[in-house]
Structure 1
Amino acid sequence: MTDLLAGPGRAAGTRAGMGVLLGVDVGTTGVKVAAFGLDGPTRHVEVCEYPLLEPAPGHQVQDPAVLVAAVLSAVARCVAVVGRDAVVGVSLSTAMHGLVGVAADGARVTPLLTWADGRAAGVVAELRADGVAAELHRVTGTPVHPMSPLVKLAWLRRHEAAGTGRVTRWLDLKALVVAALTGVAVTDLSSASGSGMLDMATGRWSPLALQIAGVSSDRLPPVLPPTHALPLSAAAASSTGLRAGTPVVLGAADGPLGNVGTGAVAPCSLALSLGTSGAVRMVVTEPPRDLDPALFCYALDEGSWVVGGAVSNGGIVARWVGRTLMGQGSPGGTGDGTGDPTVSDAAVLALAATAPPGSDGLVMLPYLLPERSPLWDADLTGAYLGLRRRHTAAHLARAALEGVAMQLGLIASRVDAVHPVQDVTATGGTLRSPLWRHLVTAALGRPMAVVGAAEGTARGAAAVGLVGLGLAAGLGEALDLLRDPLASSQPVHPEPELVAAAVATRSRTGELLAALDVARGLFPAP
């Protein structure tokens, strides 16, 4: 297997101006296709969004056909701009923990169950009560949580056996996208490691996990190296405008590739991403011997791993505030309460900026979707703590943002215990906001360099693609080839007032929760 972290050394045939490589980043609510010129500058970026559906409480799914159509459309629009003759290859990044069942003829039997799907919380509770959860975390590096395909499969086997009877293969999001582009349903080592079913030590499916999931290994996609390439199918070529046979590099999962894209590939470098959800991660050369229960450990390739934690509730919390507090039908609104999230995102930030740091003691636990790190407890619900009459909508909005930043800071402190952090690089559309940037930096308590949206997982995918195509000897060289000489990071330094407020909020959260626990004595269980 190609060593992604190989040292410098120019690969044969690599030269400036030889074309572009498409980095395809398939995320939770949209796909981004970035055409990276091998002479440095990013040539073009296309984005196509799709909805995250909630057909029933706790269900967070997507229509696979809509998602695949968005991927093909975004690639086609990008190719139309850069020209198909310029494209040397395609490399993929996909969101982790997705699961979709397909029939023998390839037809999709189930929707795509995303990482945000919380229906399997009961299975998680049972595995924890039986003591199995800790062993699964130790073996697979994936916390036992409703996000995990392992527990999704166990839940489906119990509750939807009739509806999934036609399923012959269970695919992750990577295998779904690869099949759409190449006609072959395979996944990569990195994506497979987030399934909760891959043994970190062997790189094979864990017998214990398969037994709990109720599947055999032949019903899961074959696992190949992230650098493996397959030819683009004729059907996908017709849909995208690319030439049939164009190499499609499998790439890796979006979490590890977030580190690659920002250049945070050393054990001292922390990568932070904040979009719909958020994550804090660090690349290490081997899994920690005693993995912190608050953290995950996923493969980047056979010789490198990513430890960290993810929050389900990132920028989506601001979207919720906008819809609930500032949408049509809210106080001051005039409609049915649905609101217009494309407008209210900016309005939330403007409103939150008018409240003082620390929100006058108001704290929000932003657990709107089943939360992940650091507690990995999907049953936790969101709450405002310390609410008083003096608090306004502005306080509510700011406390929501501060609550998200606090969660990221808590994870960063746990990763710092694995290996001391020297620098932080961040990416994500949410961080275009100065307020978000300053709140997150304050929660970390250290400087943070923010890089552009194209410098995230799409760039990470492209870097792996260059290694897979033999155009770079390792990630260091690939990142040098893809670096835009005109691009620059935006250094953000912690503001003392905001740092003090962040420290006070973390302390006050503990005090408020302790007081709430005492107050439970007033309401004995029936």
Structure 2
Amino acid sequence: MSATGTPVVLGVDLGTTSTKVVAFDAAGRERAAAGAGYALREPAPGHVELDAAEVLAAAVRAARDAAARARAAGCTVAALSFSSAMHSLVGVDGDGRLLTQVITWADTRATEEAEELRPTEHGRALHRATGTPVHPMSPLVKLVHLRRHQPALFAAARRWVQVKDLLVHRWTGTWVTDRSTASATGLLELATGDWSGDALRTAGLSPLQLPPVAAATAVVGTLTAAAARELDLPARTPVVAGGADGPLANLGVGAVVPGTAALSIGTSGALRVAARTPRVDAAGRTFCYSLTDDLWVVGGATTNGGVVLRWLAEELLPDVSEQAAELGDLPEEALLEMAARVPAGAEGLLVLPHLLSERAPQWSALTSGAVVGLQRRHGRAHVVRAALEGVCQQLALVADSVEAAGPAIDEVRATGGFARSAVWRQLLADVLGRPLSFAAGGQEGSSFGAALVGHHALGHLDLLEASRREVRIGEVVEPRAADAAVHARLRPVFASLADALAPAFRALRQVPAAPG
């Protein structure tokens, strides 16, 4: 391995269905990239997990490949830094052996506990103090559920960690978490940056059962000899804590000043605005998570993003997907082309695209999907169009809630897998009724944010200044006025559906699911 060359930091982004590793130099240039995927597992209704061994193996493959490509491009890996999907939970015993798989943000087994706690004054106080809504996604609520339903497992756990903590431990031998990721657990006090006594009592935990909390920019260890061998990197390569993928996406697209929002659609979606002080809106519609020790992000996450398009391709329109594959095209692109042929508003058809329940701004896990307004004139293309409009309308509701919390939104910078599609970019701009800015070079926001954190930790740059300076806008998509007016007129109708259909959703949850 070469000891010289342009120093790069590997931004290791542990996502919901894949790990992406991108090597960035201190000037913000992407020098190499690699990725590896894994599948979400649903072993029982409401249980949405990842196989921890698969995730760790994918991270090794992706990091090793990205490092090799970086060396081939004349670079030297100076450090590794992390981004991770939020709200995961893993139990381990005293020897670090797994007692659970990775329970993901999409898991809704704790719905009953969330619905009991959320409307109470205690639940509202926990939301205000920790910035994390009381919802089944929250590790706090997951822990309450596990203590109630699996007391033997709960008692056997020496430590409760997140998926990124597992990987850092595997590569450095140290149990540690970062303040950004910890702030999305429902267990961290925003005001102090340390574990909350009230939240710990609610979960039934001792603070010793959680990892120590470090700043996102802290060097938390170096690669062990074993990790160095499997990654083909020098032993003692620095490892930087990094942070949660949502806040780091703000950093990665330069949305680190109040008024500039970062919007992303991957498997799920989110919109976030930077704030100088932590805050949660009075109605409890937004979250507040840490980015750095003196910067927070206020926003909301939606559960259903790209997963809706995949569901359409795999379950509703497999014939279209197969035809596209035979022609060498992506199934998702074929569906997007279908949607583009239908006018805005899908001729009066609305789809509530809550395949995996939903989060912001209602934060109720009881909601399900629905097709409303169906008439004889509607065909499959209308359903596709309305489902994608529903994904975008949910994000528009989040934008409205964020502005109600205080930070006005002057600019929206977008990132995520959806950004590769011109159809979806235009649709989102039309539904939001706002221009969307996209970074030049198609930078992956979270992995770039993680790499910036790594370079800051090594003293190569000032974090926030580099984020503002090095993100270059390559394209701005303007909303089409006539289509934006249609979507604005439909938004109150769309917003009313979840509450209006709540009794039906509750009743339908009592219908037994088919075994297997």
TM-score, shorter chain, exceeding 0.5? yes
Q: Which residue pairs with 2:372 in the alignment?
A: 385
Contact 1:428 1:453 in 2 (8 A): no
Q: Which residue pairs with 2:451 in the alignment?
A: 462
Are 1:266 and 2:257 an aligned pair?
Answer: yes
Q: Residues 464-515 of structure 1: CA distance to partner in whole angstroms, max 9, x if unpaired?
A: 11111111133213664x65xxx75221000112202211321443577798
Q: In structure 2, how many angstroms separate the alpha carbons of the residues matched to 1:312 and 1:47? A: 23
Q: What are the equivalent positions in structure 2 for 1:130-209 lying under 5 Å apart? A: 130-209=120-199
Q: How far did residue 207 of structure 1 move?
A: 1.4
Sort the Cα spacing of 1:40 and 1:324 in 2 relative to 1 into closer, same or farther, 3 A. Answer: closer
Q: How far did residue 351 of structure 1 move?
A: 1.8
Q: In structure 2, how many angstroms separate the alpha carbons of the residues matched to 1:376 and 1:396? A: 25
* Farther-moved stretch of structure 1 (278-287 vs 432-441): 432-441
Q: In structure 2, how many angstroms separate the alpha carbons of the residues matched to 1:409 and 1:173? A: 30
SS in 1 for 2:396: helix
Q: In structure 2, how many angstroms separate the alpha carbons of the residues matched to 1:476 and 1:354? A: 43
Contact 1:139 1:199 in 2 (8 A): yes
* Farther-moved stretch of structure 1 (414-423 vs 261-270): 414-423
Q: What are the equivalent positions in structure 2 for 1:349-388 lying under 5 Å apart? A: 349-388=336-375
Contact 2:304 2:353 in 1 (8 A): yes
Q: How far did residue 518 of structure 1 move?
A: 11
What number of residue pairs does the alignment pair up? Answer: 496
Q: How far did residue 46 of structure 1 move?
A: 0.6
Q: Greater RCO between the two (CA within 8 Å, min separation 6)?
A: 1
SS in 2 for 1:409: helix
Sort the Cα spacing of 1:207 and 1:38 in 2 relative to 1 into closer, same or farther, 3 A. Answer: closer
Q: Which residue pairs with 1:4 in the alignment?
A: none
Are 1:99 and 2:84 an aligned pair?
Answer: no
Contact 1:18 1:39 in 2 (8 A): no
The one of 82, 93, 99 equivalent to 1:109 is 99
Residue type of the alignment partner of 1:406: Q
Q: TM-score by structure 2 length? A: 0.91
SS in 2 for 1:32: strand
Contact 1:326 1:344 in 2 (8 A): no
Are 1:429 and 2:420 an aligned pair?
Answer: no
SS in 1 for 2:400: helix
Q: In structure 2, how many angstroms separate the alpha carbons of the residues matched to 1:66 and 1:35? A: 22
Are 1:317 and 2:308 an aligned pair?
Answer: yes
What's the C-alpha RMSD, in Å, of the aligned pairs?
2.6
SS in 2 for 1:19: strand
Contact 1:268 1:420 in 2 (8 A): yes
Are 1:246 and 2:237 an aligned pair?
Answer: yes
The one of 76, 84, 93 equivalent to 1:86 is 76
Q: Which residue pairs with 1:502 in the alignment?
A: 487
Residue type of the alignment partner of 1:270: A
Residue type of the alignment partner of 2:464: L
The one of 432, 450, 453 equivalent to 2:438 is 450
The one of 261, 271, 296 equivalent to 1:305 is 296
Q: How far did residue 447 of structure 1 move?
A: 0.7
Contact 1:26 1:32 in 2 (8 A): yes
SS in 1 for 2:188: coil
Contact 1:467 1:475 in 2 (8 A): no
Q: How far did residue 133 of structure 1 move?
A: 1.3
Contact 2:256 2:468 in 1 (8 A): no
Q: Residues 97-132 of structure 1: CA distance to partner in whole angstroms, max 9, x if unpaired?
A: 000011111111100000000000000111135432
SS in 2 for 1:83: helix
Stretches of structure 1 lacking an aligned partner (at least 5 in a row): 1-16
SS in 2 for 1:248: strand
Q: In structure 1, how many angstroms separate the alpha carbons of the residues matched to 2:380 and 2:17? A: 27
SS in 2 for 1:122: helix
Q: Which residue pairs with 1:42 in the alignment?
A: 30
SS in 1 for 2:44: coil
Contact 1:466 1:478 in 2 (8 A): no
SS in 2 for 1:270: strand
Q: Which residue pairs with 1:13 in the alignment?
A: none
Q: In structure 2, how many angstroms separate the alpha carbons of the residues matched to 1:517 and 1:473? A: 48
Q: Which residue pairs with 1:474 in the alignment?
A: 463
Sort the Cα spacing of 1:459 and 1:472 in 2 relative to 1 into closer, same or farther, 3 A. Answer: same
* Farther-moved stretch of structure 1 (260-269 vs 348-357): 348-357
SS in 2 for 1:68: helix
Q: TM-score by structure 1 length? A: 0.89
Q: In structure 2, how many angstroms separate the alpha carbons of the residues matched to 1:311 and 1:93? A: 19
Q: In structure 2, how many angstroms separate the alpha carbons of the residues matched to 1:333 and 1:477? A: 45
The one of 382, 391, 401 equivalent to 1:414 is 401
Q: How far did residue 346 of structure 1 move?
A: 2.1
Residue type of the alignment partner of 2:337: A
Q: Which residue pairs with 1:5 in the alignment?
A: none
Q: In structure 2, how many angstroms separate the alpha carbons of the residues matched to 1:49 and 1:137? A: 33
